[in-house]
């Protein structure tokens, strides 16, 4: 459908979703802030009261033995504890849709020690305990963990860490957008990895890829959104 400008296109697309004429939303050649503005609109958007919007990426790093699902890399700059719990649940949900029955979730921090003065360490310890007590279900959750422990089993052996997650993680929860976004761009630009990305938390999945992403990554994102829809 022709629209005169990008903001009109975003508003029209959301209206079509709300009218039941679409199953998921996809970002085209418009800026992320305008795309998000249409989703977050209080009167005509796609958000239920109290919902938390988060960006989830599925990547296929060439030197890792399986898919990696991670977030948030694009929406929440500095997630608080409640937002981190929501993101963790989105990671687990995505893994389930991809056929991973008990996904292993690594909670990234600067250290594997529980250091109260470092928020990422303290939050990771709380989330891990919540999972142990059954407050977060569907996966195996471990943290705080450094990136070396999350993706490299040998590092875990050297440091004496015994965990099913270490060296075999399916999912990574990043403590802030700088860490997540840097990882995202590093594996794409330096390691030439393929990936797909969506936004979860709205009433329907919302594809959110960079305008510079490959056609293949955009196709994978459409496939993931279709699965989740």
Distance, CA of 115 to CA of 121 (rounded, Å): 6
Chain segment 92-145, per-residue pLDDT in tens: 999 999 999 999 999 999 999 989 999 999 999 999 999 999 999 999 999 999
Q: 3-12 burial, b if ≥16 CB within 10 A, otherwise e?
A: eeeeeebbbe
Chain segment 191-214, per-residue pLDDT in tens: 889 899 999 999 999 998 877 778
Distance, CA of 57 to CA of 229 (rounded, Å): 16
The arithmetic mean of pLDDT across residues 164-179, rounded, is: 97
- pTM: predicted TM-score of the whole model, two decimal places: 0.93
CB 100 within 8 Å of CB 170: yes
Measured over the CA atoms of residue 93, residue 99, residue 100 and residue 102, the dihedral's sign is positive
In the chain, what are the domains? 52-192 (3.40.718.10)
Chain segment 44-97, per-residue pLDDT in tens: 999 998 999 999 999 999 889 999 999 999 999 999 999 999 999 999 999 999
Confidence of residue 166 (pLDDT cuts 50, 70, 90): very high
Residue 31 above 90 pLDDT? no
The arithmetic mean of pLDDT across residues 13-17, rounded, is: 96
């Amino acid at each position: 459908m022709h629209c005169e400008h990008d903001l009109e296109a975003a508003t029209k697309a959301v209206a079509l979703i709300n009218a039941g004429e679409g199953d998921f939303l996809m970002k085209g050649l418009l800026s992320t802030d305008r795309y998000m503005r249409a989703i977050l609109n209080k009167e005509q958007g796609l958000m239920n009261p109290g919902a938390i919007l988060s960006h989830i990426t599925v990547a296929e790093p060439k030197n890792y033995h399986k898919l990696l699902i991670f977030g948030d890399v694009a929406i929440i700059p500095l997630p608080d504890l409640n937002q981190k719990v929501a993101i963790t649940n989105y990671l687990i949900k995505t893994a389930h849709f991809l056929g991973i029955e008990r996904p292993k979730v690594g909670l990234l921090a600067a250290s594997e020690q529980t250091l109260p003065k470092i928020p990422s360490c303290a939050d990771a310890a709380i989330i891990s305990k919540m999972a142990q007590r059954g407050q977060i279900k569907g996966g195996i959750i471990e943290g705080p963990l450094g990136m070396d422990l999350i993706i490299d089993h040998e590092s875990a052996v050297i440091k004496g860490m015994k965990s099913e997650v270490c060296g075999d993680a399916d999912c990574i929860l990043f403590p802030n957008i700088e860490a997540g976004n840097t990882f995202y761009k590093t594996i794409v630009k330096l390691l030439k990895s393929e990936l797909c990305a969506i936004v979860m938390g709205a009433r329907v999945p919302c594809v959110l890829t960079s305008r510079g992403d490959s056609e293949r990554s955009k196709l994978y994102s459409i496939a993931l959104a279709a699965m989740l829809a």
